[in-house]
Amino acid sequence: MKRILVIAAVVVLLPIVALGVLMAVTFSGARPAQDGQVLVSGAVLVKDGYVNAFILPLGGNDLALIDCGNDVEAGPLKAALAKMGLDASAVKAIFLTHGHADHTGGCHNFPKAAVYALTADQPLAEGTGKSRGPLTQLLSTPKEKLTKVGHPLSDGESVAVGLSTVRAFAVPGHTAGSAAYLANGVLYLGDSAGIATDGALAGAPWAFSDDVAQNHASLAQLAKRLAAEKLEVKQLASGHTGVGEGLGPLERFVP
Ligand SMILES: [Zn+2]
Ligand SMILES: [Zn+2]
């Protein structure tokens, strides 16, 4: 009996420990995210455990979010809104960088928000499709973290929200429909890239990504595109790490 219990404990604990080790390896050397950091655009970084979401002021009392966190109750986002004297009803739009559960978990707490994502990640966000990463293909999103994408986006599309414009760029690789968003000089990269302690850019983590070679090609393509269009990028925001400065880290990115 005791032996069965030990075996059962190992079977249950092993994947959890393995996941913990993978997470530790993935985020080692990453610049730590600072909860409450105000970006050059006035957007606020909200740390939801190991995931970042961002609150974007749109003018007046209207806000948008980049991703909606991992917490099903959206506790950290609601607390950050309360600090601004606002509540969930102020959020008019949510832009999903991709459909992984740790970025969609809190969306249903913002019923007034139009939810945007690239078309290719709509099935992932809504639970009708799966991602293909070595680890992510083994996980399915819990029902309560799924979200309906009311506004599927295509590559290059601009969305006017309040007094701001959010531009979407397709950067497939981490997931098929991974997006980068440019809003008021900040480029939001989701899990397509992170910032290392030395300020350099790191590509998407292998274990959690569909296709890292495609991710690297997408990042190189994005850097060229932003430079060619002379779009100003003052800061780089990532889904799990701290913030990077300027377009330089993306332009200098070497896989
Ligand atoms: Zn992800
Ligand atoms: Zn993530």
Q: How many CA atoms lie within 13 A of 196 on its CB side?
A: 14
Give the Cα separation of 127 and 114 in Å (integer). Answer: 18
Instruction: Identify which ligand lies nearest to the alpha carbon of 177.
Output: 1
| Three-point CA angle 90, 92, 94, nearest 5° | 120
Residue 140, pLDDT score = 87
Three-state secondary structure call for residue 112: coil
Instruction: State the amino acid at position 123 in one-letter form.
Output: P
Q: What is the Å distance from ligand 2's center to 67 Cα?
A: 10
The chain-wide mean pLDDT, for the chain, equals 92
Q: How many angstroms is it from 60 CA to the middle of ligand 1?
A: 32
Task: Provide Rg for the chain, Cα atoms.
Answer: 18
Residues with CB under 5 A from ligand 1 (ion): 100, 191
The pLDDT > 70 percentage for the chain reads 89
**How many angstroms is it from 191 CA to the middle of ligand 2?**
5
Per-residue confidence band for 15, with pLDDT thresholds at 50, 70 and 90: low
pLDDT in tens, 91-145: 999 999 999 999 999 999 999 999 999 999 999 999 999 999 999 999 889 999 9
Q: Which two tokens stand for residue 173?
A: 């690789």
pLDDT tens, residue by residue, 173-214 = 999 999 999 999 999 999 999 999 999 999 999 999 999 999
Helix (H, G, I), strand (E, B) or coil at 183: strand
| pLDDT score of 218 more than 80 | yes
What distance in angstroms lies between residue 125's CA and the mean position of ligand 1's atoms? 11
